[in-house]
Every structure is written in structure tokens, then in C-alpha cells.
Structure 1
Amino acid sequence: MAKNRFSSGDGPSQRQLRVGELIRRTLSDVLMRGDVHDPDLNRISITVGEVRTSPDLKVATAYVAPLGGTLGGQDAQEMLLALRRHQGELRHLVSKALTLKYTPALRFRLDETFDRLDETRRMFSDETVQRDIARGHDDEDDLE
């Protein structure tokens, strides 16, 4: 296999990123319009945070979360089950908007980014961490 001289091999290629973003936008539109006729799926507002594609563009993993719901809640599990139940139909609807030779198989995972962001905010608001941050700034002033 030839080595790509434009890629360092660390992370996704530009093509993977472009295709992932195109699938993310298309999947969001399909879910927003309610093109899949399933009451379980249509009653939940779904956020598609990111789509990562495999290097050969055969598999696309969509990171999804229920809008306003919690990831550990019943809504998230119902949403994942409904999305997985309609993988084929969603793939077909997404393929209509893509101009790729092959449409990637869709996989769905819960997007935990927002929960991690809340945890990070909580950690930074802790008074011990605030004290350490302030102490770090005082140390920098002493160096000058």
C-alpha cells in the first residue's frame, strides 16, 4: 500500500473529516424533519454532535444525544434502540444526499461530551482548584 505523503498518520484525513461532517449535517436534517416514520424516534429531539468515519469510509460512527435529556436516562436508551432499529432506513436516506461511491454503514454511540464538559466546569469551580490557579498566577508574577 502506498504511503500518503500529505498525511502524518496521526488522526483522520481531510477526506474523513469532510465526509463525516457531511454525514452529520445530513443525518441531523433527516432526524429533524422526521423522515423516519417511528413515533419513538420522532418524539425525541436528537443532537448529532459528531460523525467519525473509518479510514476506508465504510463505517461512520455518529455520536448522538437526546436534546435536553440525560445520557443515563431512559430517553437515551430508547433513542439508541430506535436509531439502531432504523439503521438501514437512515443509511438509505443519508445516501440520497451523498455523492460517494459507497454509503458508510451507520453506527450510533452516546455523545458524552456535554457530560464531560459539565464535570470539567464543576472541577474548575471547586475552591481548592481556584486557590491553586490563583497561586499559579502569583508564581508567574514572581518570575517576572
Structure 2
Amino acid sequence: MRKNSIKNTRMNEEVLRELSGIIRNEIKDPRIHPMTTISSVEVAPDLKTCKAFISVLGDEQEQKNTLEGLKSAAGYVRRCLAKGLNLRNTPEIRFILDQSIEYGIEMSKKIDALTYHCTEDDTKA
């Protein structure tokens, strides 16, 4: 199975859906922030490993705690994933913090501030 094949894309979507449900409903770790989402999943073509990119709406300490909680629950998450998906191999999950949403919000604020500043200068002139 190639990396960008239709089968791999479907597998990524299915694993993402299943992981989202597991994190939302199954894990009871208090370190995991309630506003945790999985932004994307990359399953290796051989189905041995999986990178799960997570986004946490909170400060740096909450992000760090959530990542630690998910890493400690990785075995349990993998077991739940094996029950939910009928695969020959259940991938080993690596959780990676995705800060692209936070970066996008920050850039949007900077652009808004810049356009507001420019329109203020136009009205004074």
C-alpha cells in the first residue's frame, strides 16, 4: 500500500474517527484537557505506526499535561483501537502536538491589528 493511495487515505480517516471517539469517551485521565482534538492522522503504509497530530485549546501547561496523559494512555488507546477496527496489525500510536491552529489564530490577530492600524492612519490623513 502506497502512502497516498485511496486505501491509505481511508485508513487515515477511519483511525482518526476511532481515535477521536476513544479520546472523547473512553479516557478518564484528568490531565487530558476537554478541548483536545485530533487534527490529522498519518498511518504508515505497513500499518505498524501511526502519527496522531493533536490540538489543545489551552495554555502551554495544559498542552504539556495533555500530551503526557495521552502518551501514558497510548497502550490503552491502542487496545481500544484494535477492538474498534478489524485490522491485522494495530498501529503503534505516537501523539504529536499540532500548533498550526494556534499559529493561524495568532497570524489572523496580527493581520487584523495591522489592517485596523492602516485604516486608522487613512482617516487621520
TM-score range normalised by the length of the shorter chain:
0.7 to 0.9
**Cross-structure match for 1:21:** 13
Larger relative contact order (CA 8 Å, sep ≥ 6): 2
Query: What are the ranges of 5 or more consecutive residues in structure 1 without an aligned counterpart?
Result: 131-144
**Secondary structure of the structure 1 residue equivalent to 2:102:** helix
Is 1:45 the counterpart of 2:35? The answer is yes
CA distance in 2, matches of 1:58, 1:14: 18
The number of equivalent residue pairs is 116
CA distance in 1, matches of 2:40, 2:101: 12
1:36 Cα shift?
Answer: 2.5
RMSD: 2.4
TM, length-normalised to structure 2: 0.78
The question of whether the paired residues in 2 share the 8 Å contact of 1:32 and 1:45 is answered with no
- Partner deviation per Cα, 1:19-54 (whole Å, 9 max, x = no partner): 111111111111111x2342323x533111111112
Q: Which deviates further from its counterpart, 76-85 or 92-101?
A: 92-101
| Percentage of pairs with the same residue | 27
Is 1:91 the counterpart of 2:78? The answer is yes
The question of whether the paired residues in 1 share the 8 Å contact of 2:52 and 2:95 is answered with yes
Structure whose CA Rg is larger: 1
1:84 Cα shift?
Answer: 0.5
Query: What are the ranges of 5 or more consecutive residues in structure 2 without an aligned counterpart?
Result: 119-125
